Amino acid sequence: MTISKSLNTAGTAIPVAHRVSTFSYAIRNIVVEAQRVEAAGTRVRYLNVGDPNVFGFKTPPHLIAAVERAMRDGFNGYGPSPGIPAAREAVARELTSHGFPISPDRALITAGTSEAIELVMTALVDGGGEVLVPMPTYPLYAAVVAKIDARAKYYRTDPSRGWQPDLDHLKSLVTPKTRVLVVIDPNNPTGATYPASTRRELIEFCERHNLVLLADEVYGDLGYDGPIDPIGKLDPDAAIITFSSLSKAYLAPGWRTGWLGVGRTPRLDDALAAIKKLADGRLCSTYPMQFAVAEALLGDRSHQPAFRVELKKRAEITARSLNAMPGMSCVAPIAGFYVMPQLTLPAGKTDVDYVLGLLRATGVLCVYGSGFGMPADAGFFRIVFLASPDELTEIYGLMADYTKKFLEG
Ligand SMILES: Cc1ncc(COP(=O)(O)O)c(C=O)c1O
């Protein structure tokens, strides 16, 4: 008999930390059900994860060449923990050229925006501290807040006003424990971007309360009418930390390569030192991929205008098709590849009922709005609209038929 079998005769389960129970990652969790549907013989259209590569968009060849070269040249060990100088320099130049001037020592290369978010939150927010997070939110924010034993306070963004933040609601949530404000602009899941007046008010609010504004700008290059400037352009001296990556606008999400830029104000010097200390602890981000950052930011970007045209086309089909379905409405996205429509639900039904019903009946997989922090009875759900225009038309046809049946009960 093994030691474990002889000593642990009751087979007691190993307890897990409570913090894990306070979040769930709906975007991935829902895949379990999709696999069941697939196993039963229905083709599943995975409109749950925002990965352009899955839908045929290709990583630019010069970026792949840069990574290949780095691997061949032997850059396969650990790299410098804040990132290679050429990549940090490129990030600083990129942000500076868009009106948010920072020096390379304030740029760090990370394992995607995701790690940047985690490093910064861990550096800035103690257990019990409060983080202002948009509702709906990109779910990683809730996950990281839970991980560091902090508390998310959700400020509303309003679909009746193009998904702009409800500033009065935001202001009502601040307490002495609040440390940071998360702003996702351009936004996942809503496809909104904020006008300068709103951005200015967000900065003003943070400065008034000594909060750090965390600007998630991973979709900044994907405005349909051209790149969208970082919020820091409006006040380069404000306490702003910006995030982005190669995942979306450079079509390489699997490389897990991103960056953060810490605003030039000396008020952020301690924060920068803390972030660097944490970055030392995780050794480095993926080393060979860092060699693509300068190529991406300083080299040929001709894939981007073409990508923006494709996204705009898909956004238009999406908004037109959804708004034509009785009971359904959506705000037309203006950046990125997500939309968050709303269905007026029959009494007693939830967004999960609709999304699972749609999946089982048609194979179309979306994510329910409650996975992004919305009330389950409000009828929101998120669609990733990266599929080809023809496939999207087919998908919205299936969705229209199912929705009609769902509403008829
Ligand atoms: C708003 C937002 N932030 C961060 C991320 C994570 O991106 P990365 O692949 O750079 O970690 C995503 C991915 O979908 C996102 O939508």
**Shortest-distance atom of ligand 1 to CA 50:** 14
CA distances (Å), 25 to each of 20, 50, 66, 367, 371, in order? 11, 14, 33, 10, 7
Please report which helix (H) or strand (E) contains residue 141, including its range: helix 140-147
Q: Is the CB of 232 under 6 A from ligand 1?
A: no
Preceding omega of 136 cis (within 30 degrees of 0)? yes
Q: What 3-state DSSP class applies to 286?
A: coil
- What pLDDT sits at residue 30? 84
Ligand 1 mutation pick, 138, 183, 193, 244, max ligand atoms within 8 A of CB: 138
292 closest CA partner among 251, 329, 335: 251
The pair of structure tokens assigned to 139 is 């779910």
Nearest CA owner, ligand 1 atom 1:
188
**Per-residue confidence in pLDDT tens, the chain, 409 aa:** 888 888 888 888 888 888 877 777 777 778 899 999 999 999 999 999 899 999 999 999 999 999 999 999 999 999 999 999 999 999 999 999 999 999 999 999 999 999 999 999 999 999 999 999 999 999 899 999 999 999 999 999 999 999 999 999 999 999 999 999 999 999 999 999 999 999 999 999 999 999 999 999 999 999 999 999 999 999 999 999 999 999 999 999 999 999 999 999 999 999 999 999 999 999 999 999 999 999 999 999 999 999 999 999 999 999 999 999 999 999 999 999 999 999 999 999 999 999 999 999 999 999 999 999 899 999 999 999 999 999 999 999 999 999 999 999 8
**Counting Cβ atoms within 10 Å, is residue 160 exposed (0-12), middle (13-18) or buried (19+)?**
exposed
Residues with Cβ within 8 Å of 62's Cβ and at least 6 positions away in sequence, in order, are 295, 299, 300
pTM value is 0.95
Q: 347 C-alpha to center of ligand 1: Å?
A: 34
Q: What's the half-sphere exposure (Cβ side, CA atoms, 13 Å) at 342?
A: 16
CB 52 within 8 A of CB 251: yes
**Is the C-beta atom of 334 inside 6 A of ligand 1?**
no
Residue 112 Cβ < 6 Å to ligand 1: yes
Does ligand 1 lie within 6 Å of residue 113's CB atom?
Answer: yes
Give the pLDDT confidence score for residue 383 in this predicted structure. 97
Nearest alpha carbon to residue 141 among 17, 27, 16: 27
How far is it, in rounded angstroms, from Cα 222 to Cα 332?
15
How big is the chain by its Cα radius of gyration, in Å? 22
The alpha carbon of 387 and the centre of ligand 1 are apart by a number of angstroms equal to 19
Name the residue type at position 220.
G
User: Is the Cβ atom of 186 under 6 angstroms away from ligand 1?
Assistant: no
Q: Would residue 279 be called left, alpha or beta, if left means φ above 0 and alpha means ψ between -120 and 50 degrees?
A: alpha
Cβ–ligand 1 contact at 133 (below 6 Å): no
Taking residue 16's Cβ as centre, other Cβ atoms within 10 Å add up to: 8
Q: Ligand 1 centre and the CA of 78: distance in Å?
A: 24
Integer Cα distance of 307 and 336 in angstroms: 10
For the Cβ of 252 lying below 6 angstroms from any atom of ligand 1, the answer is: no
Q: Ligand 1 center to residue 150 CA distance, Å?
A: 20
